[in-house]
């Protein structure tokens, strides 16, 4: 793999395959069978575990829990049929823009 997004794309493709061809021994397929509520619960749990790991300050635990969170976010994207490229595009759109300015622009759009 030549760059960071390659591994994310590879994992996402496996997720889509598990969605299309579920098996009883696939964790990803079991998440998909559980539906959006089960997936969102896992995303929330993993996000909390990242916070706890970060508070603990151990880099290896932070990396491990962050990988879990990213995996479950990819499952969420796969469930919703949203390719990771959509997230990359949004990050590219925001790149070089102040986070404060970007958030203000989003709030203005919500009020229109």
Stronger pLDDT, 80 or 97, i.e. the higher one: 80
Taking only the tens place, the pLDDT of each residue in 75-84 is 999 999 999 9
Q: Give the integer Cα–Cα distance in Å for 88 and 79.
A: 18
Cα separation, 102 vs 97, in Å, equals: 6
Question: Taking a C-beta distance cutoff of 8 angstroms, is the pair 10, 1 a contact?
Answer: yes
**Domain edges within the chain:** 4-81, 82-112
Q: Does the pLDDT at position 2 exceed 70?
A: no
pTM of the model: 0.86
Instruction: Indicate the pLDDT class of residue 1, thresholds 50, 70 and 90.
Output: very low
pLDDT at position 5: 63
> What are φ and ψ of residue 102, in 5° steps?
-65, -45
Per the listing, tokens 């591994």 go with 7
With 80 as the cut, is the pLDDT of residue 104 above it? no
- CA dist list (Å): 21 to 17, 49, 60, 103: 6, 30, 33, 39
Q: What would the two tokens of residue 44 be?
A: 């929330």
Query: Which top CATH class is 4-81?
Result: mainly alpha
The 10s digit of each residue's pLDDT in 9-60 is 999 999 999 999 999 999 999 999 999 999 999 999 999 999 999 999 999 9
């Amino acid at each position: 793999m030549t760059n960071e997004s390659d591994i994310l794309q590879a994992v996402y493709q496996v997720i889509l395959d598990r969605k299309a061809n579920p098996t009883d021994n696939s964790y990803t397929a079991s998440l998909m069978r559980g539906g959006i509520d089960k997936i969102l619960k896992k995303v929330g749990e993993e996000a909390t575990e990242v916070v706890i790991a970060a508070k603990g300050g151990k880099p290896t635990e932070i990396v491990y829990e962050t990988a879990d969170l990213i995996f479950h976010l990819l499952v969420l994207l796969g469930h919703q049929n949203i390719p990771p490229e959509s997230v990359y595009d949004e990050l590219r759109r925001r790149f070089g823009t102040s986070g404060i300015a970007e958030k203000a622009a989003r709030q203005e759009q919500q009020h229109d």
